[in-house]
Structure 1
Amino acid sequence: MILHDLISFEMLRLIWWFLMGVMLIAFAMTDGFDMGVGALLPFAGKTDRERRVIINTVGPVWEGNQVWFILGGALIFAAWPMLYAISFSGFYFAMFLILAALILRPVAFKYRSKREDPAWRSRWDWALFIGGAAPALLFGVAVGNVLLGLPFHLTPDLVAMPDTGPLMRFLGLLNPFSLLCGVVSLALLVAHGAGWLVLKTTGAVQSRARKFGERAALVALLGYLLAGLWLAFGIEGFHYAAPILHDGPSNPLIHPVTRSASWLLAYSERPWITIAPVLGLAGCLISWLALRSGRELAPLLGTKLAIFGMISSVGLVMFPVILPSATDPASSLTVWNASSSHLSLFVMLVAACFFLPLIMIYTAWVYRVLWGKVSEDDVDDPELHSY
C-alpha cells in the first residue's frame, strides 16, 4: 500500500479545511490585538511617552504574529489553489489596500523613533492607526462578501472568469451587509487590542483602553447579532443539489451547487454547530463585563473566545462551501471539489505535523519570556525598549 493511501482523500480534505480555519483564527487572535492596539494608539495615548508605552507592548511580538498570516496564505495557495486564484483576483483592490496597510505598519514602527519632532511622530502614529484599522475593517468586509458570493463563473476548462469589471468588483464589495461585517471585525479587534493594553499597561493608558474596549465589545456583540438576523432573513445560502462525491476529482462543474433559502439552514441539519455563535456572543459579553468590572486578564481571554466563536461560526455554517459564486452557483468552490491532489495534501500534512508544533512552541516561549507590564519608566530605558 502506498503511504499516502493510509489517509483517505476525503479525510485529507477535511483536515486541510480544519487547518485553514486554525490559521485564520490564530492570525486573528495574535496579529488581531496588534491591529487593535494600532487602531487605539491615537486615542488611548495622549502624550508621546504614553504612545511609546502602547507601541512597546506589541513591539517585541508583532512581527512574529504575522507568521500566521503568511502561513494562511501559503496554505490556501498549496491546498486550495482554485480558492487562492479566484479569491485573490476577486478581492484584488481590497487585498492591495490590506497589504499596503500591513506594509505601512512596520515602516511606522521603525521610523517613528528616528526623530523627536512631535509632528513627525504624530504622522507615524496615524500611519500605525491606518495599519491597524484598515486591515481589521477590510478582513470583515471580505468575510461578508464570501457569505454573499463573488461574481464569477468557471469555463468548461475550469478557467475562472469574473462577471464584472475590476472597478465594479471593488465597489460591489462595499455593500451594506459586508460593511456591517467589517464594522463587527473592526470593533472586535479594537476590543481585543484594548484587552491587551489593559493586561500590559497601567494608569491613564489602561483606563482609556478600558473605556474604548467596553464600547467596542458592545458594538461587536450587537453587530454580530444584527448580521446573524440579516443572514437568517435576508441572504440566500448555498448547498449541494445532488449527492456529494467526497473523494472525487477537484472539478466544481461536476459537483453542482445551488442556492438555498438561508445559510442558517445549516443549524437545522447540524444542530451541534450552534455552539460556535454562542461562544462568539459569550466572548463579547465576557469581555464587556470584565472591562467594566476592572479585570485585567479576562477581557483579553473574552475577545479570544469571541474570535474563535465568530470565525468558527462562518466556517461551520458555510461547510462544505468555501467560496460561492453569486452569478453561477454551479461554479462554487467547496471542500470536496477545489483541493489539491491526494498526494499533495498528504505531503503537506507531513510537513505541517513537523513545523506547526515548532511554531506554536516557539510562540508560547516568546510570550512567556516577554510576559509583564510596560510602564513609562521602562520606555525611558533604551536597553529595555527601542520604540
Structure 2
Amino acid sequence: MRLRMDRDALAAAVAAVGPGMPNRPPVPTLGGILIRAADGSVSMSGFDYEVSACATVTGTVAESGAVLVSGRLLTEIAKTLPLHPVELFDDGSALHIECEQARFSLPLMPVEDYPDLPAAAAARGSVDRADFAAAVAQVAVAAGRDDTLPMLTGMTVEFHPDCIRLVATDRFRIAVRELDWVAEQSGSTLLAPARALVDTTKVLTGERVEISTGTTQSVLGLRTAHDHHTIRLLDLPYAPYQRYLTVRHPARARLRTAAVVEAVRRVALLSQGTRILFSFTESSVRLAAGDVAQGRAEHVLPCEYSGDPMTVAFNPRYLLDGLTTVRTPAVDIALDGPRRGAAIRPADDESTPNRQWYFVMPVRLPE
C-alpha cells in the first residue's frame, strides 16, 4: 500500500474512528485501526464488538492495499504532524508515515485477524446531523452510569412518522427530546447505550445522518457522507415514562435561564451536594442551602409564578443537568408540591409545541 493524503484529512479520519476503539482491547488487533486504500479513497475502521466506526476520505493512492496498525499510536502521530501532505506506505512489516521532516514507522498486525464490521441495512430515515447530536447530548444527562443496572444506562430511540423521540432515565430524573426527521420507516423502538451514542454523534460530520437498523434489529447504524458507525443495541426492556408527559402541574415558575443556572451554581457551593431549597412566591424565588454550623448561601431571583407559595428541595447536580440543556432565554419549572416530580421545559412561544422535557424528583424534606 502506498498513498498520499492531506494531514487534516488523516487527523479527521483517525478522530472519527475513535468511538470504535476500546480503551483496553482484549486482544491486540481490536486496538488497531484498519486502513484500506483503493481508487483514490482511503478508509479507516475501528471496532470493539460493541461500536464500529469507519471514516472515508480522499487520497492519492499509488498502490492499493490494507494494513492494520496501533490505533492509539496512529492517533497520537496524526495529532502532532506538521501541516503538510502525508505519505503512508508499507514494506510488509511496518507502516511508514512521512510528513515533511517527520518520519514514523508502526509495526503491522495481521489484517486477516481483524473482525468484519457489522452491517446496518434497513434505513429508517434521515435527520439533521447537528440537531441530532445536540438532542442526544441533552437527553444523555439523565442516563444512568451504574453498569449493574444496564437498562438505565441506555437511551430509548422511538421512530415516529413525524419525529424521533429520545428518552433516558436513571430513576431520579427523565429527559425527553423530540426532533424532526425524514422518515422512510417508522413505528419501532430500540434501546442504545447512551454513552456510546454520545461519543459517536460527537464525531459525525456532514449535514445529515441516515439512521438504520440491522437485519436482526441488533445494531443501530449512523451514516453520513463520509462516516459509517454502528452501535450494538441493548436487549433489555424500556423504562416506562409516558405518564409523566401528561401530568398536570398546578404551579409554574418562569425564570431567565442564564440567571437561574448561575444562581444554582453559586448556592450549590454550600449545599454539600445534597439539596437546594427553592421557595416560590408570586414574583420571586429564594434559593438557599447550608446551615449555621457549615455556612449558608442564599440568592433571590425575580420570576413569574402562578400557584400557591411552596418550598421544594432539589439535588443541585440533577437540577443543573436539566437547566443547562435548555437553549431558550427563559425556562419554565412546573411544580406539583414538594414531593412530586417537577418538569423543566424551555419557555417557548405558546404557539410552538414543546419538544423537550426534563423531569426531576425533589429531595424529601423532614416533616
TM-score by length of 1: 0.24
Structure with the bigger percentage of strand: 2
TM-score (norm 2): 0.25
Query: Higher helix share goes to which structure?
Result: 1
Higher relative contact order (CA 8 A, sep 6+): 1
